[in-house]
Structure 1
Amino acid sequence: MKKVSFLLILILGVFEGYSQTDISGQVFDDHNKNLSGATVMISKDSVSSILAYGISDANGRFKVKVKSESNSLFLKVSYIGFATFGKFIQNTSQALEVQLSPSSESLKEVIVKSEILQQRGDTLSFSVAAFKGKNDRVIADILKKLPGIDIRPNGQIFYKDEPIQKYYIEGLDLLEGRYNLANNNLSADAVSKVEILENHQPVKVLDSLEFSERASINIKLKKDVTVSGTATAGMGTAPLLWQTKLTPMIFTKKRQAIVTYQSNNTGSDVSGEIRNFSIKYFGENFNIDKTDWLSIQNVSEPPFSAERWLDNNVHLGSANILQRVKKDMDLKLNISYLNDYQQQDGSTQTRYFTPTDTIDVIEKTNNNIFVSKLEGELTLENNADKNYFKNQLEFNGSWNANRGFIDRPDAQIKQQLAHPFLGIRNDLRLLRTVGKQLITFTSNTGFTESNQDLLVQPGQFEEVFNNGDPYAEIKQRVSSRKIYTDNSAGFTKALGKFTISPKFGFSIQNQQLDTDIFLEDGQEVLDTDFKNRTEFLQSSVYFKNSINFKNIEETWNLRLSTPLQFKSFQLEDENFEDTRNLDRFIFEPDFYVKRKLSAYWEAHVSARLQYGFGEIQQLYYGFLLNGYRNLNRYNAPISEEIQQNYSAGLNFRNPLKQLFLNASYSYNFSESNLLYSSTIGENGTTILEAVARDNNFENHSFRGGGSKYFRKMKTTLKLNASYNISKRQQLLNNILAEVNTKSFNLRGSVDAEISSWLIANYSANFSTYTSGFDDSDFQQIETQQHTIDLYFYPKDNQYLSVGGEYYGNSLSDNGDNYFVNLGYQFTFEKPKMDLNLSWRNILNTDAFINAYNNEYYYVQSSYRLRPSQVLATLKFSF
């Protein structure tokens, strides 16, 4: 009996030693008002790591559960604008009252730390060492694991379901939006932290005047002087494969540089490394982006890694150099040249649905694509506390050409396309402090030119061009030019909690379009309906005023823009001897408000009214042969569209628990004066025209997502979902129909370090798309994909990887696609390099069967894939 009693006492003693203590209470200010959002932290003493924490609710109440053997605990309570409260308490359950006193210094930040994450105000700092796994080599491998961060297939980075606006390395914007180059090549071993800069205002002089709801990323390096980069050399078989890559980097306080040369025929799409993800602040409607007036018929590309399907021979050279001229002033050069030759081989079955019939088109396609592209930017930027200056000179030139061959049951068709392009732009932004206000000036001026030719053999649309008789060839020629300028001046002034930013400006854009069609032997089609001599002049005088509000506690942020514009449009066509004019005075209010509900929660609401007017791409009178079976023209008034956009969202983030959640809803409604009519022939030829008829478009969109890092399991879980409903009017073969669409998408991923010898990565995507006329659905498709990669580590310096992929759709009878990959990697410590052997597509799956649908048609395609192949690479990281 004594033994039993002793055992019970021992057990109770053990449980008592690890008992849970409940510390609760209420936080007040110096006027005995409840403080919501106060940070409560419990530690063993004032310098030890945090044992538990909590946040006071709307009534100022908090409750924290602590497990500790210590007899005493240290309680710390902090709140913005108040002195931090600190006190030792007994390790017993108790209720406390905490009164905070105003701080003699305005406290702008609350610092919360853990071993893997530090929060300082609006900056979250993730420890790279805490997230780095055995097979992580570059910083992109780390970013994929961070909760709240999502990297899309094209490499664009999103934070809380919104694209980031800046990617800094040690606070410097070297790459001007082309951050894939650093993301995919900067060694993770050279990085100490990844900082998320929430609500980041990139212009210092505006930091206290205009708030920003977007986030940026800053990469913190371990050393003041960092020399890093990668070098890769590889060879393989089936067929003869090669891969070379050299990307040296240097980062100092006054100079940064990333230079790269890459070449391969293994299917690696290196063009993604120079893709520009910049978010434009000004002149978004005036740019030097290339317009593809003409195209050859393509095969739908598979929705997975290009290394499975891209048949390429690519060379890329890029130099990105930043020199700090003096304090806060940087001179940047970003230049790249891409040369690529690609082959596409596949087949397509397209089914068109009209209100009265279905039309099928079957095509086997073989394309040769030649890409030659030169891009460059020279930027001088002075981002100081009281002044801002940025001038960016941009050049964009391409000399691309395509060849295509289509085999149809009734014909064999050749296509040749040449589409060179040239664009030059200068963008200037100046903000200077004068007295108590900030004077602003902006100027955006550019020029583009493009001459495109499409040759189709034999000629198409026989009933239109040759009285129904076959003929040898048809050639479409397009020449387009654009010159524009947009200039404004204004000021920004703080009035208490408000900031006003009135701005006056004007813009002019002149576009010219000349098109001609030639038949066999160079015979020009002289019919007025098949020529364009169009000049389109747009001008605008505007007054834009923005009002920003931010309270001292930064719990409310409000922005109201009230732009007034007088727009004038003049369209002249020398060929048709016709002129169209349109003058409009428009008001486009834009409202955004964000409320910080607590330390964890925030909500936002926005509303916007926007007007859209036709661009020259939807204004030409004469028919244009856009593709071998597509004739388009817009012989109608200048299009006018009124758009209403409303949205609301709720975000939750708990950095210490590495938990991020977001949900949003948006509603869009637009009214237009033009309706587009598609006449689909029995052989799939389509004639698109614009018809003057009022119509509307309506769309509901629901989005939600979350991510969580499980520290003990070293696992990151991410899940995102979206649902969209839309309806619009459409004229199909002269019959008016309402087209309804519904889509749902669910995607998720898990990155887990299961044990010291096993790492697993899994991702999945499931989507449905339904479309129909009026109240009936004519087509629904479900697609899904699953990818799993397992890494086995028999030793720390080597691993064996096994990967499997599945892609399927509900439309195709044989729409199931399976892939298996095998790899082995050995890491040499001296010199530091990886030897990688990979066997891709072990099952030798030779074609990918894909299916997708649109509002009134669906496409089922088969794309020829790269064969099973073995590749050996040596990769050096330095």
Structure 2
Amino acid sequence: MKHWWVLGLLVLNSAFGQVVITGKITQANQTPLASTNITLHVPRSSAILAFAIADKSGFYSIPVKSMTDTLVLKVYRLGYATQQRTVLNKTQEVNFELSEQEIKLKEVVVKEKPITRSGDTLSYSVNAFKTQSDRAIGDVIRRLPGIEVQPDGKILYQGKAINKYYIEGLDLLDGRYNLANENLPADAVSKVEVLENHQPVRMLDSLVFSENAALNIRLKNKITTTGTARLGVGASPFLWEANVTPMLFTRGQQLIASYQTNNIGQNIGRQIKTLTREDVLNPFEKEPAKIVWARVMPLAAPTFSDTRWLDNKAHLGTINFLKKLPKGYEFRVNLSYLNDHQLQIGRTQTINYIPTDTINILEEKRNSFVFRILEGSFMLQKNDRGQYFKNQFSFKRQWDSETGLLLLNANPLTQRVSSPFYALSNHLKDIIKIKKQVLTLQSFMSLQNAPQSLSVTPGPFLGLINNNLTYNRLSQEVILRSFFTHNMVSLTKGFGRGLSVSPQVGFQVENQRLQSQLARGEEVLELVGGTFENQLDWKNIRICQITKPVS
């Protein structure tokens, strides 16, 4: 009996092992579909009992090893609708005809890291920090961690002012980066890079340590044509604002031009203010700067925003162009003209109460300022690890004037100031590498003239100026002429571990003449003379030899 039971099991097992399901997978036009997946399942189960892959003719064959009465066949192929069929557990042929079906892929969003670091370069992703209200790249920079933007637009990194502002590695604006910060659209920028411990002179990168950082603006496209254009007009009173700032950035040249005008209190002159100065190698350099000797009686400026009190009519035109030349040279032109007419009106009243009387002092001031400034520079530069050469010629011309009316208890006093200014300067720097040493030749020259005058009507100081007799007008003239040159030769040698020594030999020549005088009278003025005239001549020639560590 035992032998018959074992024989029965073997016969039953043999029967199950002989079940084979075969078939063919085709398209609707009977074209075979090779590499189609066929899986075998128990009903209401995702477990796979067996599987097969159709051959190049579309045929498949699946042996069945299951005692269930019914089975489920599923057919999968990319680009076709999945089919399944319930069949009996027996040897049979089951064919499938698949129809094409689109596959909708789920959206995949790839997010880059907001901040990445590579060596001394810290990169901020603009998209990670930009909001819908951000118009210019300066709006984004104000929100970057570690960066601070002061009210005048100067950028600080970790509390220290940046020494360069690059756009795609080029210094187009020569420190006047407010023009880019307030007009370059944020949508055109991919990254803002902070170059830590940035040495602007590449030859000195390993010799002279810099504790200041630089900013580099990375654009989204290799060739970028962008800019800003807006116009606003209002009535009662008539107000206007216009800004047209086209920009072009390519590998070989860059251009930012701009015309801006408004009478709504926006100080557009700040956009051409120099915010960085390359002074690492120029401790004695004296850039031409206007000294104000005469001015009308000023009003105290309010502490709130200029746009809420400044009455102006301002026009600004500027063009900035940089082009790469053969052999690593760069040529740059920066030109700008500002015409700004400002009106200021103020009134103060002081009441003093004393036992026998009340003293009332009413003071009104009405001041008008006209600022006209033309300035420009032309630069030729080569800056690589083998050579540094830079020559920059700059000029500045100002035609400034002021008019002030002072009413003191209704008694008028008129003031007029003429304050022109002329300046020329040239800066030459050549750095030559001699083995492991660096030889620097440097020459700086500036020439300036500042004639200024102030007239007051009616003439004040009767007892001091005109023997207590009334007179029409008092005028003071101040003229300052100055010449400065600084010439230097230095040799920088590194000793490793960040230590360098730079002995310097050079000379400076400074010559200034200051003249002032008073004149009084009616239509034709006469000099007051005597102690009211001054002429000061100052000359300084200095030969210097300095040896100092530079890092």
Sort the TM-score into its range (normalised by shorter chain).
0.7 to 0.9
Matched AA of 1:520: G
| 1:163 counterpart = 2:161 | yes
Q: 2-side partners of 1:219 and 1:457: how far apart?
A: 54
Q: 1-side partners of 2:148 and 2:449: how far apart?
A: 37
Q: 1-side partners of 2:278 and 2:475: how far apart?
A: 37
Matched AA of 1:517: L
Q: 2-side partners of 1:307 and 1:454: how far apart?
A: 30
8 A contact 1:283–1:444 mirrored in 2: no
8 A contact 2:297–2:404 mirrored in 1: yes
Q: Which residue of 1 aligns with 2:319?
A: 319
Q: Which residue of 2 aligns with 1:366?
A: 366
Between structure 1 and structure 2, the one with the greater Rg is 2
Q: 1-side partners of 2:392 and 2:349: how far apart?
A: 46
| 1:142 counterpart = 2:140 | yes
8 A contact 2:444–2:485 mirrored in 1: yes
Q: What are the residue-to-residue correspondences of 1:162-201 with 2, within 5 Å? A: 162-201=160-199
Matched AA of 2:127: A
Matched AA of 2:316: L
Q: 1-side partners of 2:258 and 2:350: how far apart?
A: 41
Matched AA of 2:509: I
Change (3 A) 1:327 1:191: farther
Tell me how far 1:297 sits from its aligned partner: 1.0
| 1:512 counterpart = 2:510 | no
Matched AA of 1:270: I
Tell me how far 1:278 sits from its aligned partner: 2.3
Matched AA of 2:542: S
Tell me how far 1:260 sits from its aligned partner: 0.4
Tell me how far 1:240 sits from its aligned partner: 1.0
Q: 1-side partners of 2:304 and 2:176: how far apart?
A: 22
Q: 2-side partners of 1:527 and 1:248: how far apart?
A: 56
Tell me how far 1:305 sits from its aligned partner: 2.7
Q: Which residue of 2 aligns with 1:409?
A: 409
Tell me how far 1:525 sits from its aligned partner: 3.9
Tell me how far 1:543 sits from its aligned partner: 1.4
Change (3 A) 1:308 1:547: same
Deviations 1:751-790 (A, max 9, x none): xxxxxxxxxxxxxxxxxxxxxxxxxxxxxxxxxxxxxxxx
Q: Which residue of 2 aligns with 1:234?
A: 232
Secondary structure of the residue aligned to 1:543 is strand
Q: TM-score, normalised by structure 1?
A: 0.47
Give the number of equivalent residue pairs. Answer: 430
Secondary structure of the residue aligned to 2:510 is strand
Q: Which residue of 2 aligns with 1:421?
A: 421
Q: 1-side partners of 2:406 and 2:529: how far apart?
A: 29
Tell me how far 1:524 sits from its aligned partner: 3.1
Deviations 1:25-72 (A, max 9, x none): xxxxxxxxxxxxxxxxxxxxxxxxxxxxxxxxxxxxxxxxxxxxxxxx
Deviations 1:89-110 (A, max 9, x none): xxxxxxxxxxxxxxxxxxxxxx
Q: 2-side partners of 1:350 and 1:152: how far apart?
A: 36
Q: 2-side partners of 1:389 and 1:461: how far apart?
A: 57
Q: Which residue of 2 aligns with 1:472?
A: 472
Q: 2-side partners of 1:148 and 1:361: how far apart?
A: 51
8 A contact 2:247–2:257 mirrored in 1: yes
Q: 2-side partners of 1:160 and 1:361: how far apart?
A: 50
Q: 2-side partners of 1:444 and 1:481: how far apart?
A: 17
| 1:301 counterpart = 2:301 | yes
Which among 530, 533, 538 is matched to residue 532 of structure 2? 530
Q: 1-side partners of 2:232 and 2:163: how far apart?
A: 35
| 1:202 counterpart = 2:200 | yes
Q: 2-side partners of 1:361 and 1:275: how far apart?
A: 40
Q: 2-side partners of 1:191 and 1:432: how far apart?
A: 36
8 A contact 1:191–1:221 mirrored in 2: yes
Matched AA of 1:499: S
Tell me how far 1:299 sits from its aligned partner: 1.1
Q: 1-side partners of 2:526 and 2:465: how far apart?
A: 11
Deviations 1:173-209 (A, max 9, x none): 0000000000000010010111111111111000000
RMSD: 2.1
8 A contact 1:299–1:348 mirrored in 2: no
Q: 1-side partners of 2:331 and 2:295: how far apart?
A: 39
Q: What are the residue-to-residue correspondences of 1:508-587 with 2, within 5 Å? A: 508-521=509-522, 522-548=524-550, 559=551
Q: 2-side partners of 1:122 and 1:150: how far apart?
A: 19
Q: 2-side partners of 1:260 and 1:350: how far apart?
A: 47
8 A contact 2:465–2:528 mirrored in 1: no
Which among 263, 266, 278 is matched to residue 265 of structure 1? 263
Q: 2-side partners of 1:411 and 1:254: how far apart?
A: 64
Q: 1-side partners of 2:460 and 2:126: how far apart?
A: 59
Deviations 1:450-494 (A, max 9, x none): 111111011222332123444322100112211111000011112
8 A contact 1:516–1:524 mirrored in 2: no
Q: Percent identity?
A: 40
Secondary structure of the residue aligned to 1:272 is helix
Matched AA of 1:122: D
Matched AA of 1:457: T
Change (3 A) 1:502 1:348: farther
Matched AA of 2:143: K
Q: Which residue of 1 aligns with 2:384?
A: 384
Secondary structure of the residue aligned to 1:419 is strand
Q: Which residue of 2 aligns with 1:451?
A: 451
Q: What are the residue-to-residue correspondences of 1:646-725 with 2, within 5 Å? A: none
Q: Which residue of 1 aligns with 2:273?
A: 275
Tell me how far 1:545 sits from its aligned partner: 2.0
Tell me how far 1:142 sits from its aligned partner: 0.1
8 A contact 2:508–2:543 mirrored in 1: yes
8 A contact 1:299–1:347 mirrored in 2: no
Q: Which residue of 2 aligns with 1:502?
A: 503
Matched AA of 1:338: L
Q: 2-side partners of 1:460 and 1:146: how far apart?
A: 56
Tell me how far 1:523 sits from its aligned partner: 4.1
Secondary structure of the residue aligned to 2:180 is helix
Deviations 1:324-360 (A, max 9, x none): 1135321000000111211111135799xxxxxxxx9
Q: What are the residue-to-residue correspondences of 1:460-859 with 2, within 5 Å? A: 460-497=460-497, 498-521=499-522, 522-548=524-550, 559=551
Deviations 1:492-527 (A, max 9, x none): 112233311111010001111111101113443444
8 A contact 2:224–2:249 mirrored in 1: yes
Change (3 A) 1:262 1:284: farther
Change (3 A) 1:294 1:285: farther
Q: 2-side partners of 1:143 and 1:475: how far apart?
A: 49
**The structure with more strand, counted as a fraction of residues:** 1
Instruction: Name structure 1 gaps, 5 residues minimum.
Output: 1-112, 352-359, 549-558, 560-878
Change (3 A) 1:285 1:427: closer
Instruction: Name structure 2 gaps, 5 residues minimum.
Output: 1-110, 352-359
8 A contact 1:168–1:217 mirrored in 2: yes
Matched AA of 2:395: F
Change (3 A) 1:349 1:490: farther
Change (3 A) 1:292 1:245: same
Deviations 1:377-428 (A, max 9, x none): 1011110112111111000001111111011127321011111111000011
Q: 2-side partners of 1:115 and 1:525: how far apart?
A: 73
Q: 2-side partners of 1:303 and 1:156: how far apart?
A: 20
Deviations 1:113-133 (A, max 9, x none): 971101222221111000000
Q: Which residue of 1 aligns with 2:339?
A: 339
Q: What are the residue-to-residue correspondences of 1:60-71 with 2, within 5 Å? A: none
Q: Which residue of 2 aligns with 1:245?
A: 243
Change (3 A) 1:206 1:181: same
Q: 2-side partners of 1:248 and 1:483: how far apart?
A: 38
